[in-house]
């Protein structure tokens, strides 16, 4: 199975900060990567698909980049509602796999 | 309004069985592949299984094979997860999710609609 390694596993940031989360795949997955946001007690929410395409209704402060094995999710200006856990997911090959998650906390 | 509602979770002893359901509404269920994803307490997301729009193709995680079986009934707009020989490590919140599918001429295997989840606790 393809392994996804997210870093950091957690970070503390302030409102207005620029935040970047990295996801590295154990083998080439082209651009078949998605990012999800999950808040405590809630279901995950799709943010980005195909590595860089913003899902409908997702604010433009979220952006994704990358292809092959290295990907990033960037929040250009952190808002109070962005404090959550973020997961990457590869959809290139079954079994589908998720990264371990990055918890974004308030500094 | 697109909606997925899971049900069937509960507390069960190791070795017993359980069937989860996911009722879909607000979209043409029979046109979409569907997934189950689970999350153990305090842990990350784990993909469990997928079933094609017509039920003809299924894939599952190694941890699920032989014990957790995905199925669907398009006449009832419902997705199922049959869980047999349950283990303590199957304890989790189970989410059903819709696969995005065709969008602007391309097919996407990501999950764009999720249910609220149903909790399965396996304990003696």
User: Among A56, A58, A48, which Cα is nearest to A81's?
Assistant: A58
Mean pLDDT, residues B7-31: 98
Give chain A's length: 107
pLDDT of the residue at A106:
87
Mean pLDDT, residues A45-63: 97
Mean pLDDT of chain A: 97
- B100 vs A91, A99, B12, B43, B123, CA distance in Å? 12, 20, 33, 25, 35
pLDDT of the residue at A24:
98
**Terminal-to-terminal C-alpha distance of chain A:** 36
Asked if pLDDT for residue A59 goes beyond 90, the answer is yes
Residue to mutate among A86, A93, A96, A98, with most B CBs inside 10 A, is A96
pLDDT of the residue at B89:
96
Mean pLDDT, residues A53-80: 97
Q: How confident is the model at residue A107 (pLDDT cuts 50, 70, 90)?
A: confident
d(CA B101, CA B118) in angstroms, rounded, equals 24
d(CA B47, CA A88) in angstroms, rounded, equals 12
Identity of the residue in A42, A94, A98 whose CB atom sits nearest the CB atom of B59: A94
pLDDT of the residue at A20:
98
Q: Residue A92 in contact with residue A29, Cβ under 8 Å?
A: yes
Q: Residue A95 in contact with residue B68, Cβ under 8 Å?
A: no
Mean pLDDT, residues A30-59: 97
Could A43 and B100 be called an inter-chain contact, meaning their C-beta atoms sit closer than 8 Å?
Answer: no
pLDDT of the residue at A45:
98
The residue of chain A nearest to residue B109, with distances taken between CA atoms, is: A91
Q: What is the pLDDT of residues B35-80, one digit of tens each?
A: 999 999 999 999 999 999 999 999 999 999 889 999 999 999 999 9
Q: What is the pLDDT of residues A74-89, one digit of tens each?
A: 999 999 999 999 999 9
Tokens of A29: 């997955």
pLDDT of the residue at B65:
81
Identity of the residue in B61, B106, B110 whose CB atom sits nearest the CB atom of A95: B61
Q: Which residues of B touch A (CB under 8 A)?
A: 35, 37, 44-47, 50, 59-62, 95, 100, 106, 108-112, 114-117
Interface size, chain A vs chain B, as Cβ–Cβ contacts under 8 Å: 59
Mean pLDDT, residues B108-121: 97
Could A91 and B108 be called an inter-chain contact, meaning their C-beta atoms sit closer than 8 Å?
Answer: yes
pLDDT of the residue at A57:
96
User: Among B81, B90, B84, B95, which Cα is nearest to B123's?
Assistant: B90
pLDDT of the residue at A63:
98
User: Among A1, A10, A7, which Cα is nearest to A88's?
Assistant: A7
**Terminal-to-terminal C-alpha distance of chain B:** 40
> Which residues on A lie below 8 Å from B34 (Cβ)?
none
């Amino acid at each position: 199975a393809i392994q996804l390694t997210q870093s950091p596993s957690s970070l503390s940031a302030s409102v207005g900060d620029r935040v970047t989360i990295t996801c590295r795949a154990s083998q080439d997955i082209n651009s078949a990567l998605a990012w999800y946001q999950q808040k405590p007690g809630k279901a995950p929410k799709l943010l980005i698909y195909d590595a860089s395409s913003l899902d409908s209704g997702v604010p433009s402060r979220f952006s994704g980049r990358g292809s092959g094995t290295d990907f990033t999710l960037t929040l250009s200006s952190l808002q109070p509602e962005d404090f959550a856990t973020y997961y990457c997911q590869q959809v290139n090959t079954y079994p589908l796999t998720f990264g371990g998650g990055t918890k974004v906390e308030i500094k | 309004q697109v909606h997925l509602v899971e049900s069937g979770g509960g507390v069960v002893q190791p070795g017993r069985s359980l069937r989860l359901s996911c009722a879909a509404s607000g979209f043409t269920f029979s046109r979409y592949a569907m997934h189950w994803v689970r999350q153990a307490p305090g842990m990350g997301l784990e993909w469990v299984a997928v079933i094609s729009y017509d039920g003809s193709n299924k894939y599952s995680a190694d941890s699920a094979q032989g014990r957790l079986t995905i199925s669907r009934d398009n006449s009832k707009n419902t997705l199922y997860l049959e869980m047999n020989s349950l283990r303590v490590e199957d304890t989790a919140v189970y989410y059903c999710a819709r696969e995005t599918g065709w969008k602007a001429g391309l097919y996407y295997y990501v999950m764009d609609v999720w249910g609220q989840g149903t909790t399965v606790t396996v304990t003696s």
